[in-house]
Amino acid sequence: MSIEQQVEVLNALTQIMHDSASGQYDEMRCEFDYEVYDDGWSVGSKFSFVRDGLFVSELLDDPEDEASSLVHKLHGLMTSHTGGDWTKFVLAIDPTGKATTQFAYEASMGENKTLQEPGHQ
């Protein structure tokens, strides 16, 4: 069940990215930083995409800050499923619409997963 929940969260994040690109794009990428404090947690993001060969860096169009809650949920699901305590991950969508993730545990990047992006244009 946890893998399906993880895919649902990643699909929801991908949809936020897709909506943030507001139009056609060739590829897109978002790096999410996840930090835990004594009294809570925080999520940072760096979103970019390529449109007509031009690199565009923008903020996620996420006024409700749903992405932060989704990243927090994903971290909880993955920690309970695999015990992995990542601090950063990259979600990238290639020109074919295939999504990949790369998770950073301390100073190393690893654990790639693939899913299909909803609504790629």
pLDDT tens for residues 4-23?
999 999 999 999 999 999 88
pLDDT tens-place string over residues 60-78: 999 999 999 999 999 999 9
Q: Any idea which architecture 2-116 has in CATH?
A: 2-Layer Sandwich (3.30)
1 — pLDDT class (breaks 50, 70, 90): low
Confidence of residue 108 (pLDDT cuts 50, 70, 90): very low
Rounded to two decimals, what is the model's pTM?
0.83
Confidence of residue 109 (pLDDT cuts 50, 70, 90): very low
Q: CA separation (Å) from 21 to 31, 64, 80?
A: 15, 17, 32
Report pLDDT digits (tens) over 31-62: 999 999 999 999 999 999 999 999 999 999 99
Residue 2 φ/ψ, nearest 5 degrees: -65, -40
Rounded Cα distance, 8 and 4, in Å: 6
Domain boundaries, the chain: 2-116
Question: What does the CA dihedral 111, 12, 90, 76 come to, rounded to 10 degrees?
Answer: -60
- The answer to whether 89 touches 104, Cβ cutoff 8 Å, is yes
